[in-house]
Amino acid sequence: MGGAGGGGGGAMRLSPCQAVLALAIALNLLVLYYVSRLQRRAARRPRERGPASAAPRPGLTVLLREFEDFENYVPEVARAFLRQRPAPPVLVVADAPPYPPLRLPPGPGPGARLLVLRPAADQPAAARRPEAHVSTEFVALVPDGARADGAGQLERMQEALRAERGSVRMVAAPVRALRPLQCLDLRVSLRRWAAEYRAAAAPGLCGALRGDAVVLLRARDLFNLSTPLARPLLTSLFVQTALRGWAVRVLDVSFPSLHQPLLTSSHNQWKADRRAQASRRRLFQDFGIKRVVLEDGREQWYGCSKETPRCFGTVHDDTPEYLYQDRWTPPCCLRALRETARYVVGVLEASGVRYWLEGGTLLGAARHGDIIPWDYDVDLGIYLEDVPNCELLRSAEAGSVVDEKGFVWEKAIEGDFYRVQYSEHNHLHVDLWPFYPKNGVMTKDTWMDHRQDVEFPEHFLKPLVPLPFAGFTAMAPNNHRGFLELKFGAGVIENPEYPNPARKRLDKGAL
Ligand SMILES: *[C@@H]1O[C@H](CO)[C@@H](O)[C@H](O)[C@H]1NC(C)=O
């Protein structure tokens, strides 16, 4: 009993030991409260400032862009990378909501998120802008099927990229057992609508990659590209980086793969190949690349053909639209013009019509044996008295004729001359200008408002001389320098200029 009474007395009065304990607990609670408040404030801050002004967090975001809806390993890839320490945020980017839906792993931590690029009428703009979803310094572009195995590849890639100076702005690591990685050089000329791949001169230092690789670059660099995530992802990436002079280094690091081959059936492989071809075609069309030369020398054409319209519209003020975009004649058009010129010359020669290279066409032949790189048609002079020798020209008098090769012969509506079009759809053409001699001077009845469209002494045609042109040999005036300077002015062969400098001048640095 006495003990119980003593205990009751103890509850009223604190012993020194109990007081110290209570104080320590109170202090602890206070410290905990302030720490948690500070943490909450720190967590809020970046969101309040918005992604644009926030300095990038160190580390990287894993970005998955290339996968097929109908068969992919995206959830497994995401899970494998989320198991790394530290776990990177994983962003899966698709054009449209994938179907069937991806079963992405949720958090803890950043987890994996899906970003759909297709516009959605009820969403804010940032919802579909990938750069608004990446807050790290680096982005690792990871192909479907790549696995992370805790060997620290991503850290090594970041270290390697940090150590790079100069033009190397990307590093890459192949994914084992998927498509082998090729290191290529890539030259892109927008002026010539062309991209040329070659085997890389320096091993491991590339302008482009083909195959499956993880590519690491700075988010700032990736999202400063005109179209950072267009598909096919690596094709699009390297066309844009080649134009900026950026290189990619292949590291002595590689990733394992989840499954091989990636697609389990030949039908799915066929579907994937077809889709890849379609997106490649769309990409090159968007970029205005019409001729691609592969590293083995094969050519791919993405421009106009006999079955499509000409790839530029009606020409105003002698200045075709592509000159205003600082581009020259699309290579498919040059090719079609060469083909048409060669064909027409063959027909004229076979039927005994005397002809000669005229105007800008002769100028191109004199300068470099070809069509001037920004020209849009081919001009030939012919003897008017020889026209009846050629059945196609005779028939063209009565209306347009499609010949057996698909070329269209017609009398021009603009005046007394003939026009041969590449095809019914594609109106690239060779113009034939009939001249006749009058007192030793070659003249004609229709004149265009061009400085070079003038009479000239017939002695330039006596005799006609062969001249290499556009891959064959055509007839040209003798003393073609005298002929061209009479028409265009002195020094015309040495001093190239666009057809109408008042509208658009040639930038001499482009030559
Ligand atoms: C984005 O690119 C342009 C030129 O292409 C360059 O001038 C600019 O500095 C770049 N911005 C960043 C943030 O890298």
Q: Which two tokens stand for residue 480?
A: 């073609």
CA 384 → CA 156, 190, 208, 387, distances in Å? 76, 41, 55, 5
Q: Which two tokens stand for residue 20?
A: 């110290």
**CA end-to-end span of the chain, whole Å?**
112
| Nearest alpha carbon, ligand 1 atom 4 | 224
Residue 315 predicted with pLDDT over 60: yes
The residues of the chain that CATH labels 3.30.460 are: 328-510
Q: How confident is the model at residue 46 (pLDDT cuts 50, 70, 90)?
A: very low
The residue among 478 and 447 whose pLDDT is bigger is 478
What's the confidence (pLDDT) of residue 22?
Answer: 67
The residues of the chain that CATH labels 3.90.550 are: 53-187+198-250
| Nearest alpha carbon, ligand 1 atom 7 | 224
- CATH architecture for residues 53-187+198-250: Alpha-Beta Complex (3.90)
DSSP string, 114-157: EEE-S--TTS-GGGG-GGGG--EEEEEEE-TTB---SS-HHHHH
Top-tier CATH class for 328-510: alpha beta
Ligand 1 atom index nearest CA of 244? 5
| Nearest alpha carbon, ligand 1 atom 3 | 224
The answer for residues whose C-beta is within 8 angstroms of residue 337's C-beta and 6 or more apart is 329, 371, 375, 377, 378, 422, 428, 430, 470
Q: How confident is the model at residue 2 (pLDDT cuts 50, 70, 90)?
A: very low
The answer for residues whose C-beta is within 8 angstroms of residue 39's C-beta and 6 or more apart is none
What's the confidence (pLDDT) of residue 49?
Answer: 43
- 220 Cβ below 6 A of ligand 1: yes
What is the Cα gyration radius of the chain? 35
- Strand duo 247-250 + 168-174: pairing: parallel
How many Å lie between the centroid of ligand 1 and the Cα of residue 134?
18
Residue 321 predicted with pLDDT over 80: yes
458-511 pLDDT, tens digit per residue, is 999 999 999 999 999 999 999 999 999 999 999 999 999 999 999 999 998 888
Residue 407 predicted with pLDDT over 60: yes
How many Å lie between the centroid of ligand 1 and the Cα of residue 253?
29
Q: How confident is the model at residue 30 (pLDDT cuts 50, 70, 90)?
A: low
What's the confidence (pLDDT) of residue 20?
Answer: 63
| Nearest alpha carbon, ligand 1 atom 8 | 224
Residue 16 predicted with pLDDT over 90: no
Give the distance from CA 32 to its chain's centroid.
55
SS (H, E, C) 257-293: ECCCCCCCCHHHHHHHHHHHHHHHHHHHHHHCCCEEE
| Nearest alpha carbon, ligand 1 atom 1 | 224
The pLDDT of 248-270, averaged and rounded, is: 93
How many Å lie between the centroid of ligand 1 and the Cα of residue 224?
6
How many Å lie between the centroid of ligand 1 and the Cα of residue 62?
23
Residue 7 predicted with pLDDT over 80: no
Ligand 1 atom index nearest CA of 224? 1
- 226 Cβ below 6 A of ligand 1: no
